[in-house]
Amino acid sequence: MKRLFWFFLLLGALTATPRHFAAGLIIVDPAHWPSTGPQPPVYPPPWPPPDHGRPAPIPRPRPTPPVARHYPFAPLELAFHKAEVAIKDQIASVAIEQEFYNPSAHQLEGTFLFPVPRGAQIKKFTMEIGGKQVEAELLSAEKARGIYEEIVRKMRDPALMEYVGRDLIRVRIFPIEGHGRKRVTLSYTQLLPLDSGLIEFVYPLNTEKFSAKPIQTVSLRLDLETRRPLKTIYSPTHTVEIKRHGATRATIGFEAKDVKPDTDFQLFFAPEESDVGINVMTYKTGADDGCFLLLASPGVDVAQKKVVPKDVAFVLDTSGSMTGKKLEQAKKALQFCVGNLNDTDRFEIMRFSTEVEPLFNELVAANRNHREKAEEFIQGLKTIGGTAIHDALKKALALRPEKSERPFLIIFLTDGLPTVGVTNADQIVASVNKDAGGTRIFCFGIGHDVNTYLLDRITESTRAASQYVLPEEDIEVKVSNFFAKIKEPVLANIKIAFPEGVRTSKTYPGSLPDLFKGEQLVLVGRYAKSGTGAIVIEGAANGSTKRFAEDVKFPDSAREHDFIPRLWATRRVGYLLDEIRLHGENKELKDEVTELARQFGIVTPYTAYLIVEDEKQRGLPLTVQSLPRLQMDREARDAAGVALDRFYRERSGEGAVAGARYGLALKEADAPADALSLGNAEGRRSLSFSATTSPAGPAATTRLGGRGGREAGGVSGGENAVLRIMESTQRARFANGRNFFQNGTQWIDSLVQNMANAARVCVQFNAKEYFDLAAKLPEARAWLALGQNVQFALNGQVYEIHE
C-alpha cells in the first residue's frame, strides 16, 4: 500500500502539465555564473533500440521525471507572484508583487529584467525593492536586444532569445543576501489595443519559468469596467473564473500553486450595445484554409422580459446503488435547481428505479406551491430496486407539449447501467431519437458503473452534453454549477450564416448550443476564401425569430492570433476520437487524429500510441521520430496500446469514464493548454487503471485487445510503464504556433518530418549568423529559445541550428 502511495504521488508530480503564465526575473551578475553554460538535456537511451529481426528483451529502466531545464544565470527562487489589474475601457493599471529567495549562502548581485508585452504602450511605471522606491529605466527593443544577446553569448543558453524585439524595464539589485529575500513591486499603466471590436490585454507571466523552483502561489485578479455593456470575456491561454457585477463590470480571477509558468496571460473583452455581442478573430497563412474563432455573448444586461421561459424535467435514478452520499448530494442538487427556476418556467420531477414515479404527471408552473411540493418530494426520496433508464426517458419525453415555443430540457442523473425493461443501448438511443424532437437531454453519469456509450449517444443526438462525476467529486457542485449557467435562455435553436463567398467547415461545437444570459458561445472552425460582410446569428425567443448581425472580415492573410489553429485542432481531435469511440474505428479518422496530434502538440497517452505506430509503419529513422523513447520501450508502448483499445471499446467502468471525460476536455476546450492538461489527467487515470486491473489480473494488462502483445510483468512493471508513457508525453513544446519534439539533444519541428527533400540551412549556435538569423526572422525567436540544437521549417527550407 505504501509503495502504491509513493507511486501515485510521483506520478502526479511527473505528469502535471505546466500551467501557462511571467513577470520579471533577476539575472545574477556574470561573476556568479558557472564557467560554462548549461548543456541541452541529453537523453541517452537506457536500453538499446530493438532488433527488428527478433523480439527485443523487455527493458526494466527505473522511471525518472523529465529533465528540468536549469538556468544558471537565474539561480533565485520565486516564492510568490501576485498581480492586481484594473482596466477601464482601454486603460490598464497593473500592480505586480514578487518575492525572490536566494537559496545559496553567498551574497549575490544582479539585474531585474521585465520584458514588456509585445506592442504594449507603457505610459508610466514605478518600482520598489524591499519597500524603497528605486529608479528603473525603460529600454527600447533595440537596446534590450543587446542585453539579451550578451547573456546568450556568455552563458551559451538561448532561453532569452524569445524576448528579442520587446522593450525592457531594467534595474540593478544589490545586495541579495545569502538565504535572504527580496520583495519587488512594479506598477505601470498601459493603453490597450482595440481591433474589430475586441480589446486585448496581455500580462507577461512567461518569465516565471526561470524560477529555480516551482512558485508556491501565482495569482492574478483583474477588475474590468467599461462604459458600454460587457459582452464577450474570453481567455485563450488560461481557464479563468469570471464574475459579472451588472452590465458593465466584471472580475476575472486566476490562481495556481506549485507551478513554473511558461506562457503569458491573454484576455479579450468586448463592450457593445447590441443584445448579443458578436466578434470574430482569424488566422490564415499561405494557400491553406484559415481558422476562425467566433465569440457570441448576450452579457448580463439582457432585460428579464427577453429571457425565454423554459420547461425542465428533472429525472433522478433512485436505484439501490445510489444509497448513501450519492443520493444525499443528488437531493441537494435538485433542491438548488428547483429553487433557481424562473417564475415563468414550468417543471416536473421524476424518480426512477425498477419503475418510474413522477411528482405531478405533467409540467407545472414554478410557483411557490409547486416548489414546496417538490421540496417535500425530494426530501422523501429513498433508494431501492433496479435501473429502468428506457422507461424514465420515455416518460420524460412524453411531457413535451406537441406545440410549444419553450425550450424543453431534461436533466438526467444516473449511476448505473440499464437493468430493467429495454436494456440494449442502441435500442434506447433509437427510442430517444424518435421521441426527442427539439428536446435537450443533459446527462450526468455518477461513479464508474455507467454506460458512457449510451449517455454520450443520447446527448450527441439531442444537441446537449454529458458530464461524469467521479466518486471523489460532489454531485451537488457539478449539477448546481451547470444549472446556474442554463438558468436564463436568451436564444434557442441557433443558426449562423456567414458572409457570402466565405466557406466554413469543420466547426466545433458541431451542434450549436442555445445562448444563455451571462454565458457565451465559443465557435471555432476552418474557412476557405476571403470575404467581408455580415455574420448573422438567428434563433427562437419567446415565440418569434430573432436575428443579430455584425460586419466581420475573413482576410486572405492574418497572422496575429496564432492560438486559433491549436484551439481548432484540440477540439477537432476530441471530436474525431469521440466519433471513433461511439461509432467505430475508421482509418481516415485515425490518420487525421495522428497528424493533428503531432502537428499541434496534442500529445496524450492515447494519441502518443497513434503517433509511434504511424512513424514505425512509415519507416521513419529513429533520429527524426517524435517520441523515440516510447518507440524503443516496448512495454510502455504496448501499455499505451491497451489503454487506447479500452478507450475505443469499453462502454462502462473506470476506463470508459476516463475516456469520456478525456473526450469532453478536448471537445469543450477554450484554453488548449488547460484542456490538454485535463485530457492528460484522464489518460493517466485510464493508464493507472489498466496497469492494476485487467480480465486476467495485472500481468495480463498488455495482452488485451490485439495491440501490443507483451506482458506488463505484474503490477510493478505496469506502474513503471505508466510513468514512462507519461514522461514521453511531456517531451514536446508548443512555441509560436509550432510543435517541437525532443529527440536526443535536438528539438525538431513536427513539420520537418515531411520535408526530407527540402534545402537545408545550417547555422552554428552563438555565431554571428545565428544572431543575424534571429534579427531577420522574428517568428523564429521562440523556436531558437528552445535549445542549442533546433530544427525548424520556414519558407520551404529546413533550418538546422547546431552547437
For residue 316, list its beta bridge partners: 351, 413
- Average pLDDT over all residues of the chain: 85
pLDDT of 46 > 50? The answer is no
Torsion of CA 552, 554, 558, 560, to 10 degrees: 40
Mean pLDDT of 276-282: 93
Provide the pLDDT confidence category of residue 49 given band limits of 50, 70 and 90: very low
pLDDT, tens digit, for every residue of 402-415? 888 889 999 999 99
**Cell numbers 522593450 label which residue?**
167
Mean pLDDT of 222-243: 93
Provide the pLDDT confidence category of residue 6 given band limits of 50, 70 and 90: very low
Give dist(CA 6, CA 90) in Å, integer.
Answer: 50
Strand order in the sheet with 168-176: 25-28, 108-115, 168-176, 137-139
Q: Nearest-CA neighbor of 336 among 363, 364, 351, 314?
A: 314
Mean pLDDT of 432-461: 93
pLDDT of 7 > 70? The answer is no
Q: Report the b/e string of 564-578 with b at 16+ CB within 10 A.
A: bbbbbbbbbbbbbbb
pLDDT, tens digit, for every residue of 51-79? 333 333 333 333 333 445 677 788 899 99
Task: At 713, give phi and psi (nearest 5°).
Answer: 80, 30
pLDDT of 678 > 60? The answer is yes
Query: In sequence order, which residues have a C-beta less than 8 Å from that of residue 410 and are 6 or more positions away?
Result: 312, 313, 315, 393, 396, 397, 439, 440, 441, 442
Give dist(CA 8, CA 723) in Å, integer.
Answer: 9
Do residues 727 and 65 make contact, with C-beta atoms less than 8 angstroms apart? yes
Torsion of CA 291, 267, 477, 311, to 10 degrees: -60
Give the pLDDT confidence score for residue 41 in this predicted structure: 38
Give the pLDDT confidence score for residue 462 in this predicted structure: 93
Mean pLDDT of 638-645: 86
Q: Which residue has the higher pLDDT, 777 or 713?
A: 777
Give dist(CA 313, CA 345) in Å, integer.
Answer: 11
Q: Strand 77-88 vs strand 215-225: parallel, antiparallel, or unpaired?
A: parallel
Tell me how far CA of residue 65 lies from CA of 138, 206, 680, in angstroms. Answer: 40, 22, 16
Give the pLDDT confidence score for residue 715 in this predicted structure: 31
Give the pLDDT confidence score for residue 684 in this predicted structure: 78
**Cell numbers 528605486 label which residue?**
134
**Cell numbers 476575472 label which residue?**
252
Dihedral over Cα of 483, 487, 493, 499: its sign:
negative
pLDDT, tens digit, for every residue of 133-153? 888 888 999 999 998 898 898
Give dist(CA 512, CA 520) in Å, integer.
Answer: 12
The grid coordinates listed for 153 are: 553569448
Give dist(CA 458, CA 461) in Å, integer.
Answer: 5
Least confident piece of the model among 347-351, 420-424, 478-482, 674-678 = 674-678
The grid coordinates listed for 611 are: 503517433
Give the CA angle between residues 335, 338, 341 to the nearest 5°: 150
Task: At 702, give phi and psi (nearest 5°).
Answer: -95, 20
The rounded Cα 404 to chain-centroid distance in angstroms is 38
pLDDT, tens digit, for every residue of 504-540? 999 999 889 999 988 899 999 999 988 999 999 999 8
Least confident piece of the model among 11-25, 296-310, 384-398, 550-564 = 11-25
pLDDT of 711 > 80? The answer is no
Mean pLDDT of 691-698: 45
Give the pLDDT confidence score for residue 24 in this predicted structure: 81
Do residues 740 and 729 make contact, with C-beta atoms less than 8 angstroms apart? no
Percentage of the chain beyond pLDDT 90 is 52
Give dist(CA 777, CA 754) in Å, integer.
Answer: 22
The grid coordinates listed for 59 are: 527493458
Task: At 33, give phi and psi (nearest 5°).
Answer: -80, 155
Give dist(CA 755, CA 283) in Å, integer.
Answer: 23
Least confident piece of the model among 41-50, 369-378, 749-758, 782-791 = 41-50
Q: Residue 37: CA atoms inside 13 Å, Cβ hemisphere, count?
A: 20
pTM: 0.87
Mean pLDDT of 713-738: 72
Task: At 603, give phi and psi (nearest 5°).
Answer: -100, 110
**Element spanning 149, H or E:** helix 141-155
Query: In sequence order, which residues have a C-beta less than 8 Å from that of residue 11 and are 6 or more positions away?
Result: 684, 688, 722, 723, 726
Kindly report the number of other CB atoms within 10 A of residue 175's CB atom. 12
pLDDT of 82 > 70? The answer is yes
pLDDT of 553 > 50? The answer is yes
Give the DSSP letter of residue 235. -
Do residues 314 and 411 make contact, with C-beta atoms less than 8 angstroms apart? yes
Strand order in the sheet with 521-528: 277-283, 290-297, 521-528, 503-508
Give the pLDDT confidence score for residue 690 in this predicted structure: 61
Give the pLDDT confidence score for residue 772 in this predicted structure: 94
Give the pLDDT confidence score for residue 18 in this predicted structure: 33
pLDDT, tens digit, for every residue of 170-215? 888 888 899 999 998 888 888 899 888 899 999 988 888 888 888 8
Q: Strand 77-88 vs strand 91-101: parallel, antiparallel, or unpaired?
A: antiparallel
